[in-house]
Amino acid sequence: MIGIVDYGMGNLGSVRNAFEHLGHAARIFDDPQEAAGFERILLPGVGSFAQAMRNLDERGWSPVLREVAASGKPMLGICLGMQLLFDRGEEHGDTAGLGLVPGKVIRMQPTPPNRLPHVGWNTLDHARRHPLHAGVKDHVDFYFVHSYHCVPDDEADVLARVDHGGRVVASVARANVAGMQFHPEKSQAVGLKLLENFAGWDGGDTVGSALPW
């Protein structure tokens, strides 16, 4: 069972619908104490970094999510949920994040004619092979909608990037903790493929040789 964290930020239904569509059991839960009962944890999110961290802290999620990460359980943050995995964010004031992926989250500064927010479909360039991206070719488009982006300290954590008047990290994985800046649950068939991969992910880095790439 996949647990979708409800901490009062944004649209949780779409992610659950996507897993249900794929035939994977997923439940939205708002009690951090229940986290231990799920096989994998998904952290969604729409809104601002500062508000989201306030909600995670006030509702007792932050220590629980750090425990989940330390336990080796597969964990995925989507959009703002990915950004919260990092050390710090500057949206609405410098705020400490969950600190699960070293790095910071800063406002994008795209060169013209690129606009902000970064809204729409953009092309993924893979930085390395990873089971979460198995079966997804290079140069396929995913749906993005954000104004801040993640800057990891460790380049090895980057799975894929896009170009938006400068390079933008699209997805990361550090051991069992992963993040996607785009919305797989809104990216139609290719997005659902990634969620399917997450549903079967063991939290490791090993890419099976039989997987299409």
Active centre residues (catalytic): 79, 183, 185
Does 140 interact with other proteins (rule: CB under 8 A)? yes
Does 166 interact with other proteins (rule: CB under 8 A)? no
Provide CB contacts within 8 A for 108, sequence distance 6+: 116, 118, 146, 147, 148, 149, 164, 166, 168
- Position among 54, 175, 186, 203 found at the interface with other proteins (CB under 8 A): 186
Q: What residue has token string 């990216």?
A: 187
CB-side exposure of 99: number of CA atoms within 13 Å?
8
Residues 58-117 that bind other proteins (CB under 8 A): 80, 92, 113-117
Angle of helix 13-22 relative to helix 188-199, nearest 10 degrees?
A: 80
- Position among 28, 106, 175, 190 found at the interface with other proteins (CB under 8 A): 190
Does 196 interact with other proteins (rule: CB under 8 A)? no
CB of 140 vs other proteins, minimal distance in Å: 5
Provide CB contacts within 8 A for 55, sequence distance 6+: 7, 8, 9, 61
Question: Which two three-digit tokens encode residue 34?
Answer: 């229940």
- Position among 28, 51, 55, 207 found at the interface with other proteins (CB under 8 A): 51
- Position among 143, 175, 205, 207 found at the interface with other proteins (CB under 8 A): 143
Question: Taking CB under 8 A as the rule, which mask of x and - marks residues 16-45 in contact with other proteins?
Answer: -xx--x------------------------
Is the Cβ–Cβ distance between 94 and 60 less than 8 Å? Answer: no
